[in-house]
Amino acid sequence: MATVTQKPPWHIGPVGMLATLWGAVMAGEELIRRFELTGYPEPLATWGAQLAALPDGAGLVWALGAFAALAGGVLLLLREGLTPVILALAALALAVAAGWAALAGAMTVAQPGGQAMIGVAVLGVLFWLYARVQRGNGALG
């Protein structure tokens, strides 16, 4: 647990919840896709099919980013000092997977899946920047 003594800013909780939800959706989607579970939510069905078309290595990097995002969101809620490092790993992995998919021709920016990959990677960078600033402000351990 973090050993932060100052009162946390009011926005740590809501941002931490959003970051955790962001990571949980990606991690849940990854589990559904990897284990071929039934009952794939309709809005994610096309997205899952596009992710399944990724080269194997890019899919593994994407999975690393998804689970690192979930861990980073939880760590942000707990106000841990390691949060910026984990969120940086998530953002980097998601950006590398998006770039890999584009270079391999698996997805393009014109496809909804390509746009979503870019959006998810940008969110990762934003959450990392937020955690980094909060760490600098002393709000994280």
User: What does the pLDDT read at residue 43?
Assistant: 65
Give residues with Cβ within 8 angstroms of 20, minimum separation 6: 70, 73, 74, 76, 77
75 φ, ψ (degrees, to nearest 5):
-65, -35
User: What does the pLDDT read at residue 68?
Assistant: 98
- Low-confidence stretches of the chain (pLDDT < 70) are 1-5, 38-48, 112
User: What does the pLDDT read at residue 21?
Assistant: 96
User: What does the pLDDT read at residue 98?
Assistant: 87
123 contacts 22 by C-beta, under 8 angstroms: yes
Q: Quote the pTM value.
A: 0.88
Q: Please write the tens of the pLDDT for every residue from 104-135.
A: 877 777 776 778 888 899 999 999 999 999 99
